[in-house]
A and B are shown apart, each in its own frame.
Chain A
Amino acid sequence: MRRSLTALLMVLVLAGIALRPLEHTAWREQVRRQPGLEWRRLDGAAGQGLTLGLLGGFRALAADLLWLRANAAWERCDLAGTHAALALVSAVDPRPVAFWLNGARMIGYDMPYWRIAALGGETALPAGVVRHVHEEQARAAIAHLERAFAQHPDDPLVHIEIANLQLQQLGDVVGAAEHYRNAALQPTAPYYAARLHAELLRRLGREHAAYDWLVALHPTLPPERDNPYAMADTVLARIRELEERLALAPADRYQPGRR
């Protein structure tokens, strides 16, 4: 019995070694498309029901239920509970971008107010402390979003969310402009990302760069009557504004359809 068990194990190990190259290439490709469940990050926090659900393949449903848990903690302004639930959601199912975006909004925009309230309220605290808390949470939210890039490389919505946090919470116009640009370069980017990049370039005083960007952008946009979200007429109006400000000669001005 013992000898046959040893022989059986030997055969299985040899088969494992022989099939290793096939498994390795397929597994590498699979992980590139979707990381395996991060069981280490679940760290015992998942109950038996959740574990069974995950092993059974109900990953999306498990993540949805955890998202409900995160929202319940968020409603109670429970800082630790919300953080823990958000970490679980992203460990169980990092595929939906919405989990990353909404989680970052909770961390970056809501949690500072919970922390400030716990410290005695905005009126009782020095302005520097209030600002520090806002910035710390914004950085935590950005770090949360940067983890999303492992699953969603260069996703425009993640870039835009980072840019929003940098602009609104950190006042980092340069960083925000860069992320709006990264978003706009992606094929599935919303149209407004490119317009916001140009607007921030203008705010930074880089009007030539803003003009060049808009001139390159305008021919790629559908006519406004076909897609009002593209706002091609608004982009053209901004181009004209910049031409006035830059005092460009009529011959150097942008002519739609000519370049």
Chain B
Amino acid sequence: MNFADTAPLGFSPRRVGVLAEHAFREAVRQRVFQFTTLLAAVLVLGSLGLRELDFGGAEAKFVADFGHGALVLFGSVLTIVMTVQLLGGELENRTVLPVLARPVRRSEFICGKFLGAWAVVLVFCAVVTALLLLALWLCGVATVAAPGEAPVVRGGAAAPYAAVLLGGALQAVKFALLTAMVLLVGSYAQTSLFAQASSFLVLVICHLQYLARDAWQSGGSWAARLGGGLIGFVFPNFQLFGGELLGGDAADLALAGRVAAYGALYTAVFLGLAVWSFRRREI
């Protein structure tokens, strides 16, 4: 049992803030942040040159899809690698010991790491979303929806910017959840490599969670139902966060709000479990 857990030390948001600021500065200096942000930026702006590869819809839609793909892919890589480095690096190098020897609770340590890591991901999301908006503006087409191939009787163009902003915001919520999940894995894992591999596996499972739910609901063998049900209830559904489809009307905002609430509640659960697991860990 750690000293900080036995001492009458209350949970201090101020200490969490200090730890988060430290984690943020450490993470921003990491090459993975610079590398993924640069790659995502190149891909988003490069999508303007790849528009000729698009055969299915409007150019703006292709640019929006491509940019959203860059946000999802590199955001996931950044979240996993950076969070594992922030926690696993401290554990492997034993630099966590002098921190926890001070009057700092383990829960504050985990919450600080979470906030610091998420702040970096927020910066990443903001940069990529801003670049995507710039790319769409440069694209000069004010529609995400595929246009009719002939002049239409009625109907106007959809605004793409609201969809891109909502998509970016929902991805930021998803990355908060992923950060909490990686912290939970990292609090168990003995090596950073294991934590990273497990986290990527968890990411894939979460993206395919809806298939497990389908298997559970659609019947079949009892083994398939049991397995599907277990995966469906243990892992959150990451496909929910595909906000690039949304516009800016009230129904879309309500849906985005429900998805954000789902992500926030799951984040709280995983963060709580990460704290619980880290408190039980022998360091």
Contacts and interface: CB of A to CB of B under 8 A. Distances in A.
A30 B239 contact: yes
Contacts of A227: 151
Nearest to B150: A190
Interface string A25-41: 11101100110100110
Contact of A8 (B236, B242, B277): B277
Interface in A34-77: 34, 36, 39-40, 53, 55-61, 63-65, 67-68
Interface string B257-269: 0110110011001
B135 interface: no
B148 A190 contact: yes
A3 B86 CA distance: 27
A23 interface: yes
B49 to A, nearest CB: 13
Interface stretch (A12-20, A129-137, A251-259): A12-20
B277 A97 contact: no
A22 interface: yes
Contact of B73 (A12, A57, A65, A95): A57
Interface stretch (B7-15, B53-61, B94-102, B114-122): B53-61
A23 B151 contact: no
A236 interface: no
B208 A39 contact: yes
B153 interface: yes
Interface stretch (B19-27, B28-36, B105-113, B226-234): B226-234
A22 B273 contact: no
A190 B240 contact: no
Contacts of B57: 60, 95-98
A8 B273 CA distance: 7
Q: Which of A9, A29, A67 has the most CB of B within 10 A?
A: A29
B270 to A, nearest CB: 8
A176 B146 CA distance: 25
Is chain B's binding surface mostly helix, strand, loop or mixed? helix
Given A26-B262, A57-B69, A220-B153, A98 B148 contact: no
A87 interface: no
Contacts, number: 153
A27 B152 contact: no
Interface residues of A, number: 54
A96 B230 contact: no
Contacts of A15: 265-266, 269
Contacts of A58: 65-66, 69, 73
B207 A55 contact: yes
B249 interface: no
A16 B56 contact: no
Interface residues of B, number: 54
Prevailing SS type, chain A contact patch: helix
Interface string A153-185: 000110000000000000000000000000000
Contact of B66 (A19, A61, A67): A61
A57 B53 CA distance: 17
Given A29-B255, A39-B211, A188 B152 contact: yes
A61 B72 CA distance: 14
A192 interface: yes
B154 A27 contact: no
Contacts of B273: 8, 11-12
B79 interface: no
B91 interface: no
Given A64-B53, A67-B56, A187-B153, 12 more contacts: A17-B233, A19-B266, A23-B262, A27-B239, A34-B242, A55-B204, A56-B72, A58-B65, A60-B66, A95-B146, A99-B55, A188-B155
30 contacts: A8-B277, A16-B232, A16-B236, A19-B265, A22-B258, A23-B262, A26-B262, A27-B239, A30-B245, A56-B76, A60-B57, A60-B65, A61-B53, A64-B54, A64-B56, A68-B55, A96-B146, A157-B148, A157-B149, A187-B155, A188-B148, A188-B152, A188-B155, A189-B152, A190-B149, A191-B150, A191-B151, A192-B150, A227-B151, A229-B151
Interface of A: 4, 8-9, 11-13, 15-17, 19-20, 22-23, 25-27, 29-30, 33-34, 36, 39-40, 53, 55-61, 63-65, 67-68, 93, 95-99, 156-157, 187-192, 220, 227, 229-230
Closest 10 CB pairs between A and B? A96-B56, A16-B233, A57-B72, A60-B65, A56-B73, A190-B150, A58-B69, A57-B69, A96-B57, A229-B151
